[in-house]
Amino acid sequence: MAVNGRQGGRPTLEEVAARAGVGRGTVSRVINGSPRVSDRAKAAVSQAIAELGYVPNRAARALAGARTDAVALVIPETEARLFAEPYFLDIIRGVSAELGDADKQLLLTLIRSDQERQRFEQYLAAQRVDGVLLVSVHADDPLPDVVRGLDIPAVLNGRRSEEEPVAYVDSDNVGAGCSAVAHLAERGRRRIATITGPLDMYVARCRLDGYRQGLAAAGLAADEALVAAADFTEEGGRRAMRGLLERCPDLDAVFAASDVMAAGARVALREAGRRVPDDVALIGVDDSAVARHMDPPLTSVRQPIEEMGRVMARVLLQEIAGAEAEPRRLVLPTELVVRESA
């Protein structure tokens, strides 16, 4: 039997979206009374609902209207990487403190495969959390857009690109690279190398841009042989440093895009008989416990990691409360902390 020009069966949210010419998330926002919908879209969705005879699921509506008092913090990494990387622990500490003050439960979620991501998307679709915080997001990660499409408030730690549509809290990563290279140049270093993070991550590309801008400002020629890509791990930093020494044995300084990679580079330099800072100066990023406990202590660009976690949680709570009409985009300052390594 045909109903309003379609075959029998209960109309779906996707069919309403197709008829209205909008996305599934827009239909969901109209149904749930969200203010973040234009009058034109609201009218198109309302007309499509009437034409198709769509009836929202009452149980889902009830869940959608209720608060779970839970927030998911999503980190797409393994347990080993989570506990080996001080950055993640500081983010968790900041998020946990802010959510604890607001009486919200924190659900830590590690996503290590497409299967786990799909399972988490199903969990989100069931309206089990009030909002989502995402950390360590790569350029091709679809999860932020999935969360946004479900009309669940979300905030990223960092961003996927300059045009990031989802709310985010980031640090001045270009400035981090600039300040590190400026310091090295002021100390008389002329063959300054860099070890980058994965270049499918915006944070890594920004730190590389800062490195290049720093070279230009110091009047130093850029040499791509002095650039080695790694993966924000200690072993990745060690491998990258070995490659740099093979290609450019005359290098006299290294800017590593994280303290953990700088620790790996320090091992490779020692293996090669290079002294830090006498032969090769070394700078990292994060100003983590790793930096303070290295031998010699590591000069590092401090980013306010725990504060970023707090601010992320604060922005998300404002979105959950409906206080933010547009996604917030915040960039926090960085600061060079000089120690004995450079």
pLDDT band at 35 (very low <50, low <70, confident <90, very high): low
Domain identity same for 298 and 178: yes
Domain identity same for 45 and 97: no
pLDDT band at 63 (very low <50, low <70, confident <90, very high): very low
In the chain, the percentage of residues whose pLDDT exceeds 70 is: 91
Q: Is the pLDDT of residue 59 over 70?
A: no
Q: What's the confidence (pLDDT) of residue 32?
A: 64
Rounded Cα–Cα distance for residues 294 and 300 (Å): 11
Domain identity same for 230 and 275: yes
Domain identity same for 164 and 268: no
Domain identity same for 29 and 117: no
In Å, how far are 17, 145, 204, 240, 262 from 230, measured between CA atoms? 43, 27, 10, 6, 11
Q: Is the pLDDT of residue 2 over 60?
A: no
Q: What's the structural domain count of the chain?
A: 3
Q: What's the confidence (pLDDT) of residue 256?
A: 98
Rounded Cα–Cα distance for residues 58 and 46 (Å): 17
In a domain, residue 237? The reply is yes
Rounded Cα–Cα distance for residues 86 and 95 (Å): 14
**From the CB of residue 200, how many other CB atoms can be counted at a distance below 10 Å?**
12
Least-confidence region, from 16-30, 49-63, 148-162, 303-317 = 49-63
Tokens 């379609």 correspond to 6
Domain identity same for 195 and 252: yes
Q: What's the confidence (pLDDT) of residue 65?
A: 52
Averaged pLDDT for residues 137-144: 86
Q: What's the confidence (pLDDT) of residue 56?
A: 60
Sorted by sequence, the CB contacts under 8 Å of residue 115 that are 6+ apart come out as none
In a domain, residue 64? The reply is no
Rounded Cα–Cα distance for residues 273 and 166 (Å): 47
Q: What's the confidence (pLDDT) of residue 218?
A: 97
Rounded Cα–Cα distance for residues 328 and 319 (Å): 9
Q: What's the confidence (pLDDT) of residue 44?
A: 87
Q: What is the CATH number of the domain that holds 31?
A: 1.10.260.40
Q: What's the confidence (pLDDT) of residue 42?
A: 84
Domain identity same for 35 and 178: no
Domain identity same for 196 and 287: yes
Q: Range of 46's domain?
A: 13-56
Q: Is the pLDDT of residue 105 over 60?
A: yes
In a domain, residue 5? The reply is no
In a domain, residue 342? The reply is no
Least-confidence region, from 90-94, 236-240, 253-257 = 90-94
pLDDT band at 157 (very low <50, low <70, confident <90, very high): very high
pTM of the model: 0.78
Q: What's the confidence (pLDDT) of residue 201?
A: 93
Q: What's the confidence (pLDDT) of residue 149?
A: 84
Phi/psi at 266 (nearest 5 deg)? -60, -40
Domain identity same for 157 and 204: no
Q: What is the CATH number of the domain that holds 325?
A: 3.40.50.2300
Q: 206: buried, middle or exposed (CB in 10 Å: 19+, 13-18, 0-12)?
A: buried
Contact between residue 342 and residue 187 where contact means Cβ atoms under 8 Å apart = yes
In a domain, residue 47? The reply is yes
In Å, how far are 11, 49, 301 from 18, measured between CA atoms? 11, 11, 49
**274-326: pLDDT as tens digits:** 999 999 999 999 999 999 999 999 999 999 999 999 999 999 999 888 766 67
In a domain, residue 183? The reply is yes
In a domain, residue 154? The reply is yes
Averaged pLDDT for residues 114-132: 86
Contact between residue 178 and residue 215 where contact means Cβ atoms under 8 Å apart = no
Sorted by sequence, the CB contacts under 8 Å of residue 288 that are 6+ apart come out as 86, 87, 90, 259, 260, 300, 305
Run of H or E including 227: strand 227-229
Q: What's the confidence (pLDDT) of residue 94?
A: 94
In a domain, residue 232? The reply is yes
Domain identity same for 44 and 85: no
- Give me 35's structure tokens: 């203010």
Rounded Cα–Cα distance for residues 134 and 110 (Å): 10
In the chain, the percentage of residues whose pLDDT exceeds 90 is: 58
Domain identity same for 224 and 283: yes
**175-229: pLDDT as tens digits:** 999 999 999 999 999 999 999 999 999 999 999 999 999 999 999 999 999 999 9
Packing angle of the helix pair 13-20, 39-52 (nearest 10 deg): 120
Domain identity same for 181 and 166: no
Q: What is the mean pLDDT of the chain?
A: 88
Averaged pLDDT for residues 139-162: 89
